[in-house]
Structure 1
Amino acid sequence: MDEVSVVVAHSERATLRVGDVFLKVDGDPRRLDREVEAMALAPLPTPRVLWRRPNVLAVAAVPGMALGVLGEPSPASPAAWAAVGAAVRQLHEAPLPPWIGPGLDEITAELDAECEWLMGSGVLPPSLIRRNREVAGIALRPWKPAFVHGDMQITHFFVDGDQLVGVIDWSEAAQGDPLLDLAVLTLGHEERLDDLLAGYGADVDVDVIRAWWSVRSLTASRWLLEHGFDPNEPGCEFDVLRACR
């Protein structure tokens, strides 16, 4: 009999794996509805939906291996990263989904609140927080909305050799800033940014991507600490903040 493994679990949602089936349980069924719709709209390979219940979504596992994990060198080839870049460009040029993601004011307010918490927590030097908040301001500018994945972590992309074969976890997909997608995908993997952009192909402001690295790391740190994850692991969020320049 296949064992049940917990992929991730917190107060809002949980993902379980049973053999080749993933069960996504969400306290808000509207998020699951939106994820199903996003996968149907996205011009990329996505998990096959097996069945849907009010608070549960069952999807099939995708083939291949993850592009990498945060904190470790990516085992994928430069060609695989370029293929992912080309696919992300295709997503960003697709027709917009009908819903809008977090806007500039909302992101700025969250960033400032998280910086205030970090300053009071003592987990990072105040000078490091202030430097990253300054750099983060470069990302906080108007953008042309694109169809974005919204949580484009390296673990959400699966490749087989040099080919992209699956993209998972579409719950945050919306209209948003395409450079945030590129930043999340390369967070902690700056050395693969050129490979990704070789496939993406557009003129990209790398300074904005770097700024989104600071935004992402500053806003995620408290949640990670409060949910049993360690952003101070080598190559993870705190190292990204320390590398800010």
Structure 2
Amino acid sequence: MDEVQVVLAHSERATLRVGDVFLKVDGDQGRIDREVEAIGLAPVPTPRVLWQQPSVLAISAVPGTVLATLGEPSVASPAAWAAAGAAVRKLHDAPVPPWPSRGGQAVDKLAADLDAECERLVAGGILPADLVTRNRQVAEAALRPWAPVFTHGDLHVAHVFVAGDELTGIIDWSEAGSGDGLRDLATLTLAHPDRLGDVVEGYGADVDVDVIHAWWSVRSLLATRWLIEHDFDPFVPGAEVDVLRARM
């Protein structure tokens, strides 16, 4: 009998694995519906949707292994990272979904949310003021108009699977929608900045690296307190606080 593995669990959603089947339990039915639609639209390898019931989605496992692990050097080849970049470019070139990604809000709202979160981080003693101030300055480069593309929305390395030099699948499309393509590239390389060159090479387009650096700061500032409140640790090696410190 296959064991039930808890992959992810917090107050918003949980993901369980039983053999080669993943069960995603989510109180937001709209998020499940969007994930199913995004999987159907994405022009890259994705899990197969097995069935869907209210608040539960069953999907297949994808072959291969994760591109990298948080806090550890990536053992994947430069070609595998480039293949991930090429897949992201293919996604970004696809028709844009009619709904925004969770991180695809308007620039003014993003700036306001970021300023409010910076105040909370300092007032709550979570991060020192100089660290927050410096990263808020870096983040400014991301706060510019962008042409919306089809984005994954949460493209960290644990959601990208490879076998050798080939990409075999991208999972967890719950945040997919229209948004800034450079945010996807930033999320993919957040904990492995040394692989940014490989990803950009595979992406095959002019990329403003300063904007990617800015998105590293934006994502880390916005995520730190949420992670703590949901029993994750943004202070572990390679996680969000390390990303913020690197900007100093």
Q: Is the 8 A contact 2:81 2:202 kept in 1?
A: yes
Q: Of 171, 179, 188, which aligns to 1:168?
A: 171
Per-residue CA deviation, residues 144-173 of structure 1 (Å, 9 max, x unaligned), is 000000001110000000000000000010
Q: Which amino acid aligns with 1:8?
A: L
Which residue does the alignment assign to 2:45? Answer: 45
Q: Is the 8 A contact 2:62 2:169 kept in 1?
A: yes
Residue 51 (structure 1) shift: 0.6
Which residue does the alignment assign to 1:145? Answer: 148
Match of 2:169, SS state, is strand
Distance 2:158 2:6 in 1: 16
Distance 2:195 2:136 in 1: 24
Aligned residue pairs total 245
Distance 1:243 1:148 in 2: 26
What's the RMSD between the two structures over aligned residues?
A: 1.0
Per-residue CA deviation, residues 75-111 of structure 1 (Å, 9 max, x unaligned), is 1100000111111101001011111232223322221
Per-residue CA deviation, residues 168-189 of structure 1 (Å, 9 max, x unaligned), is 0000101000000000000021
Residue segments in structure 1 that go unaligned for 5+ positions in a row? none
Which residue does the alignment assign to 1:205? Answer: 208
Match of 1:138, SS state, is helix
Which residue does the alignment assign to 2:158? Answer: 155
Match of 2:142, SS state, is coil
Q: Normalising by the residue count of structure 2, what TM-score does the alignment of the two structures yield? A: 0.96
Q: Which amino acid aligns with 2:237?
A: P
Distance 2:98 2:178 in 1: 8
Distance 1:235 1:53 in 2: 37
Residue 120 (structure 1) shift: 1.0
Distance 1:234 1:26 in 2: 29
Q: Which amino acid aligns with 1:156?
A: H
Residue 132 (structure 1) shift: 0.3
- Equivalences for 1:92-171 in 2 at 5 Å? 92-101=92-101, 102-171=105-174
Which residue does the alignment assign to 1:20? Answer: 20
Distance 1:224 1:179 in 2: 22
Runs of 4+ in 1 over 2 A off after TM superposition: none
Which residue does the alignment assign to 1:232? Answer: 235
Q: Which amino acid aligns with 1:235?
A: G
Distance 1:72 1:121 in 2: 30
Residue 116 (structure 1) shift: 0.9
